[in-house]
Amino acid sequence: MKIPLNRILETIPPSGIRKFFEIVAERKDVISLSVGEPDFDAPWRVREAAIAALESGETHYTPNKGYFELRTEIVKYFSRKFGVNYSAEDEVLVGNGASEIFDIVVRSILNPGDEVILFMPSYVMYAPLVQLAAGVPIFVKQISEIQKKISPRTKAIILGYPSNPTGTTFQKSELQKIAKIAERNNLLVISDEIYAELTYEGRHTTFASLPKMKARTATVSGFSKTFAFTGLRLGYLLAPADLTAAANKIHQYSALCANSISQIAAIEALRNCDSEVEKMRLEYKMRRDFCVRELKKMGFQIQKPAGAFYLFLNVCKKTGLTGEEFALELLEKEEVAVVPGSAFGAEFSDFVRISFATSLQNLEIAFEKIEHFLKN
């Protein structure tokens, strides 16, 4: 019997990142510059809090919106770091990773045929989740294109900064331009700021901090990148109370609640781990500078990323290879893994994404191998 599937799902390809990751997983002794995951372990005091919670029997259901103690700490953290104040009672929702939070926000606001504007290249989940919510993604590359793409069906603008895959971010002046467009056209802004703490020059400006924007912003964030929490799957939403309540309805039925152990660990992280986060940030910055320096030596044109831990590199200009050809040959000949740019859209087939979320020692070996690959 052929199972009748969701017609929208049939039009969406599998994640290009996960597809390549599975190829890499079958190979031994590969240096992976492909995975967007911190190579650090979560700070010890965070793990200690999780162990203590498990030993004390904290293995039960939690409130749908997350522990109030955790929501309170998130509010304090966001006020302290980014200057925006929220109500822990009704403007915060804790979920199972930023991906789940993004999904339920999109499903909360979209009716069939509604349009959402998003920048390209962008993280691979944005467009598919809009489509699965029966929405229509509308792509732009520049802020100047947004107004031209707005229609009566436009519902929201999606931002992701610092960016996966490019490492670029928005300056405050650029965010102000987007804010004016959102206000003029009565649009919601879904702002994915999971890499906010991994900003290397200047300070991160959260979109909701701009004048009049808190009321029309859904801020999506989490603990995976800042606190090296990827496996603990914990994210959160900061948004107006009516949107948070709507998202919580979906969360109640699809996931019920977030993990109890992860939430207790997150409370410890928010209260006591600023210094560990700063150490990781400085280490990433050092790795970024090393990667950019080495790539320029090899003759690549590369813009220094402002945040996150990625470089988006045009390899075709120098090698004549597409990103996928480059990635597959580099893996085969030198056992170094990068992600083809086509994972982020067919128009980026000349690019590869390089993650520097690995040790400096691994990066040194990997870049020697890349240089050897280019020479041969």
Confidence of residue 363 (pLDDT cuts 50, 70, 90): very high
Among 230, 255, 272, residue at a domain's last position: 272
And the tokens for 165?
A: 């895959």
Among 272, 298, 333, residue at a domain's last position: 272
- 92-95 sheet: strands from edge to edge: 92-95, 235-238, 217-222, 188-192, 154-160, 115-119, 136-140
* pLDDT at 16 (0 to 100): 63
Residue 352 lies in a domain: yes
Same domain, 214 and 351: no
Question: What would the mean pLDDT of 136-144 be, rounded to a whole number?
Answer: 97
Same domain, 136 and 56: yes
* pLDDT at 8 (0 to 100): 84
Question: What would the mean pLDDT of 221-225 be, rounded to a whole number?
Answer: 97
Q: What is the pLDDT of residues 202-222, one digit of tens each?
A: 999 999 999 999 999 999 999
Residue 15 predicted with pLDDT over 90: no
Residue 1 lies in a domain: no
Domain extent at residue 226: 44-272
* pLDDT at 73 (0 to 100): 98
* pLDDT at 365 (0 to 100): 97
E-assigned strand segments in 210-350:
217-222, 235-238, 310-314, 336-337, 339-340
* pLDDT at 19 (0 to 100): 66
Tally the domains of the chain.
Answer: 2
CB 66 within 8 A of CB 92: yes
- The chain-wide mean pLDDT, for the chain, equals 95
Same domain, 69 and 130: yes
* pLDDT at 36 (0 to 100): 86
Nearest to 154 by CA among 135, 172, 176: 135
pTM: 0.94
Q: What is the pLDDT of residues 89-128, one digit of tens each?
A: 999 999 999 999 999 999 999 999 999 999 999 999 999 9
Specify burial of residue 29 (Cβ count, 10 A radius: 0-12, 13-18, 19+): exposed
- 310-314 sheet: strands from edge to edge: 310-314, 351-355, 339-340
Provide the residue type at 215 as one letter.
Answer: A
Confidence of residue 368 (pLDDT cuts 50, 70, 90): very high
Residue 213 lies in a domain: yes
Residue 144 lies in a domain: yes
Q: What's 192's DSSP letter?
A: E
Counts of helices then strands in the chain (DSSP H, E): 14, 12
Question: Measured between alpha carbons, how far is residue 164 from residues 225, 235, 261, 353 in Å?
Answer: 12, 17, 28, 9
